[in-house]
A and B are shown apart, each in its own frame.
Chain A
Amino acid sequence: MAVTNTMENLKQELLELYKVNKSQINANVGEKIKLARSKAISDFEKLGLPTRKIEAYKYTNLEPVLTGNFNSEFSADPFNVNLQEIFKCEVPELDTHVVLVLNGFYYHENVLSDLPEGIIVSSLAQASVYHTDIFNAHYGNYANTSEDGLAALNTCFAQDGVFIYVPKNTRIEKPIQIINLCFSFKDLRINSRNLFVAEDSSELQIIVCDHTLCKRSYLTNSLTEIYAGKNSKIEFSKLQNENNHSSQLANTFIYQKARSNVHSNILSLHGGFIRNNVFTKIDGEEAENYTYGLYFGDDNQHVSNYVFINHAKPHCTSNQLFKGILQENASGAFNGKIYVSKDAQKTVAYQRNNNILLSPTAKMHSKPQLEIYADDVKCSHGATVGQLDNEALFYLRSRGINEKEARHLLMYAFAYEVLSAIKTGHLRERIIDLVDNTLWLMDLLN
């Protein structure tokens, strides 16, 4: 009972926090955000925060993470920070359109030049006021606040983040890189919110990098909605690389129309506590979805991925591939579900989760699930938890490759299956370098 009470108290505290700061939270946002908010508040009152009694959170205890002592900021930091100086991205020389987000707020000095005609990249709050037609048609439509407490919580507090709009038949050559930075003199709770809309036959590549720039503790409960119009192609990559005191709850809701192709790469390189929820609804025929993930954990980190793919229409394909390497006392969880509705005949859906544990104290819980109501489908799922292959290690060493290098090669090869699927070429190369470095630092056992 103690568990429920703490989370229940926190829920009341958060609702109270909203009431007290209501006018400030709603100061700069449009009507649609306020509308979604009022529904989310009543949803959140009903749902509360997810406890381990909920199946999807059985192996991921949010309580110690959520109940930390955090401050909230309801307006953007008005000061100019020389971000170029304090921040050096670990994936340098990436040819991208860079958008900075500071503690959940769109950084006011962002300048985006040479964007193709019609493309909008702006602050979410501004879009809710200045682009109401597009914004109101999508905001809050894909994130279901009545089923998920974290989505409801984000919608209650959402004030800002990034809005991207790509009109019909338009293609952005360069990826848009959103850099989420946490930098403050206080421990912060952050609720950032993004909305990406790719209209019919458009193409969009987005990379979201999450970083902490100081040793403060952060609890980020972010939410991203992605709309993929007919025949659109989206590649969405998320690169999580934060300090040990940070907790990240990242919720992504994807909605796909016919013949759209969405490829997500969820790369969790570092962080104290990471929970990714990816909900996809495929609501048009012949659409494709690829949700790939790679995660590393050491120390006492926890990395948890929850993926839900809802096949609502026939002739669609989805593929989930999540791979992880954990060491020391790190723990992880994978919960993936493929849901095939009665009408979604000829669905092809795969799901796989492979894990390597480098130490006897590392832990992994894997639960791949299928829920199928159609009778003509091709679906499979599987999970493995193992160690580095000793046979392979010996093979490499017998050729003169030292143990450390051999272990590195095997870990790299394990990760490569996920990395090689990244479609944007120069992004793939950069990320491969970054993962390579991470792996060198990671394998402490040698």
Chain B
Amino acid sequence: MLKIENLKIEIDGKEILKGINLEVNQGELHAIMGPNGSGKSTLASTLAGRDIFTVTSGKVTYLGEDLLEMSPEERAHKGIFLGFQYPVEIPGVSMVNFLKTAINEQRKYRNLDPLTASDFLKLMREKKDLVELHSNLTNRSVNEGFSGGEKKRNEIFQMAMLEPKLAILDETDSGLDIDALKVVANGVNKLRGKDNATIVITHYQRLLEYIIPDFVHVLYKGKIVKSSGKELAMELEEKGYDWIKSEVE
């Protein structure tokens, strides 16, 4: 589904990613772990189409197509979803208007008619239940005045609404208390399927107690320095990142 080959990325002349190789197939869940500043968020944003980074070499193929050639909206239409580490507050744009526009744009791309108001509301209720979102977040402006936990739950809610093929969750667990973490993990697990794939980016092993990954990768100084099964996460929790650092350097 996704193939990253020798991807190198710069921002303001500084190399952040120094040759990433990663392959993600349908039905898989990959966890990318690593200390702060290792380039995890840069990788996530690049895959979603953020244009503040410069790709200096390498290529990314998604469903057989060159991903880096596509605009962010095109990537979304083709099923990529980024759960933001810091979801943006957009005062004045209502959640309902935002989601309705997003869904209908995606439907238009798939040659489907726009959802009727009642179908849209029905879908929203259904997905709210799925991700256990019982508050009235959907009556407010996008992320405006949301608490940290509400923002993250809202990301998972959007993911449920948009039903992506490839979901990339950037530090979705950061700043969450244990209850919120469980809700977020539950949402992710319910949305996992054999046709889609998920990349979970996290600093801590904690989330991986609830979301069991098929593969764990350690990103350090812009490179994936270790890849293994879910047991790698446990090892990291036990020994800390210093263990990796000393092994690499």
A391, B87: Cα distance in complex, Å: 9
Counting CB contacts under 8 A, is B31 at the interface?
A: no
Contact of A397 among B73, B81, B93, B109 (CB under 8 A): B73
Given known pairs A397-B76, A399-B98, A399-B162, the reply for A410 and B93 (CB within 8 Å) is yes
Q: Report B108-138 CB contacts with A as 1/0, cut-off 8 Å.
A: 0100000000000000000000000000000
- Interface status of A373 (Cβ within 8 A of chain B): no
In the complex, chain B residues whose CB is within 8 Å of the CB of A399: 76, 81, 98, 102, 158, 162
What chain A residues lie within 8 Å of B88 (beta carbons)?
389, 391-392, 394-395
With a CB–CB cut-off of 8 A, which chain B residues contact A396? 90, 93, 98, 102
Whole-angstrom distance from the CB of A355 to the nearest CB of chain B? 16
Determine if B76 and A400 form an interchain contact, defined as CB atoms under 8 angstroms apart.
yes
Assess whether A402 is interfacial by the CB under 8 Å rule: yes
Taking a contact as CB atoms under 8 Å apart, the answer to whether A403 and B73 are in contact is yes
| Chain A 264-300 interface mask (CB, 8 Å, partner B; 1/0) | 0000000000000000000000000000000000000
A23 at the interface (CB under 8 A from B): no
Taking CB atoms and an 8 Å cut-off, the chain A residues in 355-404 that contact chain B are 389-392, 394-403
Q: How far is the CB of A144 from chain B (nearest CB, A)?
A: 38
Q: Report the minimum CB–CB distance from A378 to chain B (whole Å).
A: 23
Cα(A412)–Cα(B109), bound, Å: 24
Instruction: Among A390, A391, A397, A413, point to the contact of B92 (Cβ < 8 A).
Output: A413
B48 within 8 A of A: yes
Answer whether residue A409 sits at the interface, using C-beta atoms and an 8 A cutoff. Answer: yes
Residue among A400, A406, A414 facing the most chain B CB atoms (10 A cut-off): A400
Q: Is A173 located at the chain interface by the 8 A CB criterion?
A: no
Return chain A residues, CB-CB under 8 Å to B92.
Answer: 412-414, 416-417
Q: What sequence of 0s and 1s flags, for each residue 163-180 of chain B, a beta carbon within 8 Å of any chain A beta carbon?
A: 000000000000000000
Q: Is the interface of A mostly helix, strand, loop or mixed?
A: helix
Are B71's CB and A403's CB within 8 A?
yes
Quick one: which of A168-193 are within 8 Å of B by CB? none
- Taking A410-B90, A413-B92 as contacts, is the C-beta distance between A401 and B101 under 8 angstroms? yes
Which residue of B49, B90, B109 contacts A398 across the interface (Cβ within 8 Å)?
B49
Contact A409 B72 (CB under 8 A): no
Residue of B nearest to A415 (CB): B92
Q: Would you call B153 an interface residue if the criterion is a C-beta within 8 Å of the partner chain's C-beta atoms?
A: no
Is the pair B109, A400 in contact by a Cβ cutoff of 8 Å? yes
B50 at interface, CB cutoff 8 A: yes
Q: Is A433 an interface residue (CB 8 A)?
A: no
- Chain A residues with CB under 8 A of B93: 396, 409-410, 412-413
* A405 in the interface (beta carbon within 8 A): yes
CA distance A409 to B48 in the complex (A): 20
Evaluate contact between B84 and A401: CB separation under 8 angstroms.
no
* Extra A-B contacts (17), CB below 8 Å, given A392-B90, A409-B98, A410-B93: A390-B52, A394-B88, A395-B84, A395-B87, A395-B88, A395-B90, A396-B102, A398-B84, A399-B162, A400-B76, A400-B109, A401-B101, A409-B93, A412-B93, A413-B90, A416-B92, A417-B91
Residues of A in contact with B (beta carbons under 8 Å apart): 389-392, 394-403, 405-406, 409-410, 412-414, 416-417
Give 4 nearest A-B pairs by CB, closest first.
A413-B92, A400-B76, A397-B72, A399-B102
